[in-house]
Chain A
Amino acid sequence: GQQLNQSPQSMFIQEGEDVSMNCTSSSIFNTWLWYKQDPGEGPVLLIALYKAGELTSNGRLTAQFGITRKDSFLNISASIPSDVGIYFCAGQGSQGAQKLVFGQGTRLTINP
């Protein structure tokens, strides 16, 4: 089946630094979504991408749908303590509608 490779698995940064994480797939995806999950809570949708090459921002967050449709990245600028959490990419490919495939997650830790 379709799989997503998300990297890095974890990041330890200083407050104020920029962050970049990405997801790649061996197959084409029609939709890329980025979620943030805090401990004991459900994932919260950050950014949705629907077109190859699309670049979308949400405050300090920017995400892009790769031109090959096989990858996506998420950037966070000027990180703050509340950015701590686990970030998941999720994609929906050609193998059936409504079937989201999740990456393994990137755990972000910020040192004040």
Chain B
Amino acid sequence: DTEVTQTPKHLVMGMTNKKSLKCEQHMGHRAMYWYKQKAKKPPELMFVYSYEKLSINESVPSRFSPECPNSSLLNLHLHALQPEDSALYLCASSHLHKKGNTEAFFGQGTRLTVV
């Protein structure tokens, strides 16, 4: 099973709303990631969790708040977003190796539209 499951697949939210994106994997991976992808662009790293602890924050605005409740789940809490935050949000996971090799598996993404 090499599946990363993201919900919802589509989300439309107003700028005053609070919503959450969810991600789940059962591959025993101890690294989980959030990426943001704009149209016709490559994925851009937002956050990395290693062993359920936040290890990388790529200077993401505080209106995006990640959470890793356990080794299988990753959430991204959204609050007071702007229209320019509309994008495809991708979750990924990977094993952690000493050399840091990162064979990341991606979910199908959540298409977020901020109105």
Contacts and interface: CB of A to CB of B under 8 A. Distances in A.
Q: Please say whether chains A and B are actual partners in one complex.
A: yes
Interface of A: 30-31, 33, 35, 40-45, 48, 50, 88, 90, 92, 96-100, 102-105
Nearest to A105: B42
Contacts, number: 73
Interface stretch (B14-22, B67-75, B97-105): B97-105
B104 A96 contact: no
B11 interface: no
Interface string B91-115: 0101011011111111111010000
Interface of B: 2, 4, 6, 31, 33, 40-45, 48, 50, 55-56, 88, 90, 92, 94, 96-97, 99-109, 111
A44 B101 contact: no
Given A98-B33, A102-B43, A41 B100 contact: no
B114 to A, nearest CB: 18
A42 B109 CA distance: 6
A104 B41 CA distance: 6
Nearest to A41: B108
Given A30-B100, A98-B50, A104 B55 contact: no
Given A41-B109, A98-B56, A33 B100 contact: no
A92 B95 CA distance: 14
A50 B101 contact: yes
A31 B44 CA distance: 18
Contact of A42 (B42, B50, B108): B108
19 contacts: A31-B101, A40-B88, A41-B109, A42-B90, A42-B92, A42-B109, A43-B90, A45-B105, A45-B106, A88-B43, A96-B100, A97-B97, A98-B96, A99-B45, A99-B48, A99-B102, A102-B43, A102-B44, A105-B40
Contacts of A45: 2, 103-106
B85 to A, nearest CB: 18
